[in-house]
Amino acid sequence: MDSTTSERSGSVPFAAILVVIVGLIHVLSGIAAISGSDSVTKEVDDVLYEINVESWGWFWLIGGVAQLLTAGLLFVRNPVAAALAVCGASLSALATVFLIFVAPIWAITVLALNVAIIWKITQNFDDFIE
């Protein structure tokens, strides 16, 4: 390789793929909550004390779409996308904690993916700066 070619890590596309996965999980979770399934509503109501499940579903749906858009920007190594991805993963992790008693496997999986996103992007932030 000559001196003008920069080597970039594969961690950024990996982080973008993780953001896509988390975004899709949130979109599907949002659709499930918005659809008004009685089983979802009953489980969430039992744990979160009469929270409006449809509003929670819209939160997840909008957040998931934002994460999918952020992933697209990550693939082109947009520096703003790195900040958006870290903020989005942080908010996602925080909100997921509220559902750990409703769906523990889902919550732990999403938390682990969010931690991986934050770690990969902060570890390789130099890849975003030209």
What DSSP assignment string belongs to 56-82? HHHHHHHHHHHHHHHHHHHHTT-HHHH
Predicted confidence at residue 88, as pLDDT, reads: 93
Cα(15)–Cα(116) distance, integer angstroms: 8
- pTM value? 0.81
Domain-wise residue ranges, the chain: 11-128
Backbone angles phi, psi at 102, to 5 degrees: -85, -50
pLDDT tens digits, residue range 17-39? 999 999 999 999 889 888 876 66
